[in-house]
Structure formats: C-alpha cells, structure tokens
Chain A
Amino acid sequence: MVIVMEKHTAENNVERVMAELIARGFDVHRSTGVEQTVLGVVGDVAKIDTREFELFDGVQEVVRISEPYKLVGRTFHKEKTVVKARGVEIGGPEVIIMAGPCTIESETQMFETARRVSRAGARVLRGGAYKPRTSPYAFQGMGVEGLKLLRAAADESRMATVSEVMDISQIEGMLPYVDILQVGARNMQNFNLLTSLGQIRKPILLKRGMSATIQEWLLAAEYIMTGGNYDVILCERGIRTFETYTRNTLDISAIPVIEKLSHLPIIADPSHAVGRRDKVMPLARAIVAAGADGVLIEVHNDPEKAVCDGPQSLYPDQFARLMDELRIIVPAVGRRL
C-alpha cells in the first residue's frame, strides 16, 4: 500500500500518518521528494481500511498495490487449482459440462434428463431441491426427496451432482447426495453460509451475485477458503445492466479476468444469464471460446412442462447439438471435451 501525501504538506501531517502506521505494527518506507512525500506501507495491509488513512490531514491518496484477498489470488498460488468431484476434474484440460433441470420434479424427469445429457457428454448433473424463488407462491422445491432422485439418476448415468444450498441448516442433509454444493447469486454475500461451507470438505460452486464486482465475488470465495475448504469453483451467471432485452448480461470478460486474478476454476451459466432458450447456445459457445473451465446449463427432458425456468431450458436434442458445436471449439482454446 502506498500513501501519497499532498504537495508541500506540513511535516507534522506526515509524522501523524507515520506514527499511526508504526503504532499498528507496519513498517514504513518514507520517500521525501522535492514537493511531495510518499509512504510505502509494508506488512499485512489487507486489514487496513484505506478510508481511515484518506481522512488524515495532508493525505492526497491511498493506493492499494496488493489485492485484499490472499487465498483465492494468483500471487501466492501460481498453479491452477483442479477441483475433483466424484472423479470429475474441474480446472484441468477437459472442459466440464454440467447440465440438468432447474428444479427436481419427478423420477421420470431426472432419469430421462440424466440419460440424455450424459449420452451427449455432460459429466455433472444439476438439479435444485431448494429453490430461491422470487415469489413465495412459486414452487419451493422437493427437498431431500428430490436430492435422492438426483443422486439415483446421476449414479445410473455415472455422473457427479451439483445442487444449490440456501441455508446453513440444509448443508448436513445434502452431503450424502450432492458432490458439489452450489451457492446461488442471491446468497453470494451470505457470509454466515459461506463460513459454514468453509468448514466442510466438499467442492463449492460459488455463483457471482447479480450486482457483485469481481473483487466482491473473490472476497466471497475467500470466506470459504479461510475455513480450510480450498475446493471452490467460480461461476459467472450474468450481471444486472441497463439492458432489459435479456434477463441479465453475461459478463464474458469475467472469464479471462478471473483466470488472471485467481487460480480457482471459472465456469459460466448461460441459462440464467439470458433467460431465453434461443440465446443460450451462442452464449455457451462464447463461454467455452473465452477459456472457461466449464459450462452450467439447464436442460429439461420436457421444457414445456417444467415447473420452473422452462423457457430457458434446452431440449435434450438441442443440448446434444450444442455439445457437437463445443467439440469443434475446444481444440482452438487448447482444451478437450
């Protein structure tokens, strides 16, 4: 961190800032220029709130040079993290496709969808048992009974499972059935939930909040990792913008940005981003082309009858066609499918 003092500020202003820094246990590298003094702050500056020092008399600017996060960043962990879930490696050479319905509804729906998507090449089966619905009158999910269907359908098609956890109280009950626990966009900054997920030893798929900056998202991942759970997968799912034609705007640029800032695997969800089936396929192609480690995509065996998010779910045939297209793209970005 660097503190830039105002031009020709009084010496006692510089001294007050230095005294405060030193009293807090930081080392200071002072550089007195002809007009302006600059203080380099050395130590664990992540815990400093820069605003505190901006308020000192004579301070022009406080500049953070290091990131406020440690465990998620590339600085201290150069190697890419590969998260393993039931034999599926996310973050390795293979682009991992996670597919399935928004909501678990019935045995037929889960088994049929699992068979179709796994035949097309999906490795992870998705399906929600606890649904964060905008309206309290909408279907809220099947709970543990749904998770049992998810597990059985995935086992039959030899897939791993991913499902959303909404509350601390659900974690324990989900562990026997779910290989990757998903934190939804609305819960990205539910810090109590994140802290609890740091205590378990199962991969977490952390979706980006719909108005979260990349830094806030990475700090949310840091919450999980400080608990000792290092298996975190980041998932871009669209952010709120001024555009109303699509539900959200998928931030494709987040993929290469995360790739640079963090060693954690980054995947993206085109279905929730755009909210319309006809736009899902081009976005999925763009996600893979941008270098993502995976795609999380909604597929329903019978979208017209889906209780939730039918219009954004792909038909199984569409999904198979998409997989064929992705197989053409992956070699161009040095990956396989």
Chain B
Amino acid sequence: MNRSDAEQEINRIRDAIDRVDEVIVRLLNQRAKYAIEIGEIKGVLGLPIYAPEREKDVLHHVEKTCEGPLDGASMRRLFERIIDESRSVERKAANRD
C-alpha cells in the first residue's frame, strides 16, 4: 500500500466510524427515551430513581452479550457512563409532572 492509498484508506475508515457513531447516538437517544418513560412511571409511583440491583443486571447483561474485540470490563466501564446519564434524565423526568 503506497502512501496516498493509505491516506485514502484512513479517510474511508474514519467515514465508516462517523456512520457508526451516528447509529450509536440514535440508539443512545432511543435508550434515553425509555429511561425517561421509566422516570415518569417512577415519579407517579414514588419509586427511587437509583435502583442498584437493576444497574447491576444491566452491566452484567452487557458484559455477557459482549463478544469482542472490546472485553467485558471495557464494556462495563462504557456502560457505567451510559447509566450515569440515564439516571440523570430519569430523575428529571420523575420530578417534572
């Protein structure tokens, strides 16, 4: 592979990453919508926003589903942040009414 081919290849892969990011963003928002719905329900029922058992299940689930190349621990760390943000939108939704 010569230099200009290599540069073209990097650009092609970067484009592919951008497309994947768009899908991830869409899916994260889809996930956040569910979190908001749950927040609203928790608000009505007066349930606590923080559900440690459920968070553990979610992390366990993604770790189990993960087939690589990212290992289970990396996936857990990524999902910790996703859960942090979900909790935040849930709390806002629960307090809204």
Give B54 Cβ to nearest chain A Cβ, in Å. Answer: 12
Q: B residues within 8 A CB of A27? A: 84, 87-88, 91
**Contact between B87 and A28 (Cβ–Cβ < 8 Å)?**
yes
How far is B81's CA from A31's CA once the two chains are assembled, in angstroms?
8
A residues contacting the other copy or chain, number (CB 8 A): 13
Q: Given that A27-B88, A28-B87 are contacting pairs, would A22 and B80 also be in contact in the complex, using a CB cutoff of 8 Å?
A: no
Q: B residues within 8 A CB of A28? A: 84, 87
How far is B78's CA from A29's CA once the two chains are assembled, in angstroms?
12
**Contact between A32 and B80 (Cβ–Cβ < 8 Å)?**
yes
- A25 (CB) vs chain B CBs: closest residue: B91
Does B46 belong to the interface (CB within 8 Å)? no
How far is B75's CA from A32's CA once the two chains are assembled, in angstroms?
12
Q: Given that A27-B88, A28-B87 are contacting pairs, would A18 and B80 also be in contact in the complex, using a CB cutoff of 8 Å?
A: no
Say whether chain B's binding surface is mostly helix, strand, loop, or mixed.
helix
Q: A residues within 8 A CB of B52? A: 11, 15, 18-19
**Contact between B77 and A32 (Cβ–Cβ < 8 Å)?**
yes
Q: A residues within 8 A CB of B69? A: none
Q: Which of B22-76 contact A (CB under 8 A)?
A: 48-50, 52, 76
Give A53 Cβ to nearest chain B Cβ, in Å. Answer: 16
- A31 (CB) vs chain B CBs: closest residue: B80
How far is B60's CA from A11's CA once the two chains are assembled, in angstroms?
15
Does A7 belong to the interface (CB within 8 Å)? no
The 8 A CB mask of A2-22 against B (1 = contact, 0 = none) is 000000000100010011001
**Contact between A30 and B50 (Cβ–Cβ < 8 Å)?**
no
Q: B residues within 8 A CB of A22? A: 48-50, 87, 91
Give A160 Cβ to nearest chain B Cβ, in Å. Answer: 50
Question: Per a CB cutoff under 8 Å, which of A11, A19, A32 touches B50?
Answer: A19
How far is B74's CA from A32's CA once the two chains are assembled, in angstroms?
11
Does A65 belong to the interface (CB within 8 Å)? no
**Contact between B48 and A19 (Cβ–Cβ < 8 Å)?**
yes
- A22 (CB) vs chain B CBs: closest residue: B50
Question: Per a CB cutoff under 8 Å, which of A15, A23, A29 touches B84?
Answer: A29
- A42 (CB) vs chain B CBs: closest residue: B88
How far is B54's CA from A18's CA once the two chains are assembled, in angstroms?
14
**Contact between A30 and B84 (Cβ–Cβ < 8 Å)?**
yes
Q: A residues within 8 A CB of B80? A: 30-32
Q: Which of B80-97 contact A (CB under 8 A)?
A: 80-81, 83-84, 87-88, 91
Q: B residues within 8 A CB of A15? A: 50, 52
Q: B residues within 8 A CB of A11? A: 52
Q: A residues within 8 A CB of B76? A: 32
How far is B82's CA from A29's CA once the two chains are assembled, in angstroms?
10
Give A58 Cβ to nearest chain B Cβ, in Å. Answer: 14
How far is B84's CA from A281's CA once the two chains are assembled, in angstroms?
58
Q: A residues within 8 A CB of B49? A: 22
Q: A residues within 8 A CB of B50? A: 15, 18-19, 22-23
Give A43 Cβ to nearest chain B Cβ, in Å. Answer: 10
The 8 A CB mask of A283-316 against B (1 = contact, 0 = none) is 0000000000000000000000000000000000
How far is B88's CA from A22's CA once the two chains are assembled, in angstroms?
9
How far is B87's CA from A22's CA once the two chains are assembled, in angstroms?
9
Q: B residues within 8 A CB of A18? A: 50, 52
List 18 additional A-B contacts (Cβ < 8 Å) besides A23-B50, A30-B80: A15-B50, A19-B48, A19-B52, A22-B49, A22-B87, A22-B91, A25-B91, A27-B88, A27-B91, A28-B84, A29-B81, A29-B84, A30-B83, A30-B84, A31-B80, A32-B76, A32-B77, A32-B80
Residue pairs across A and B with Cβ atoms less than 8 A apart, 14 shown, are A19-B52, A22-B48, A22-B49, A22-B87, A23-B50, A25-B91, A27-B91, A28-B84, A29-B81, A29-B84, A30-B80, A30-B83, A30-B84, A31-B77
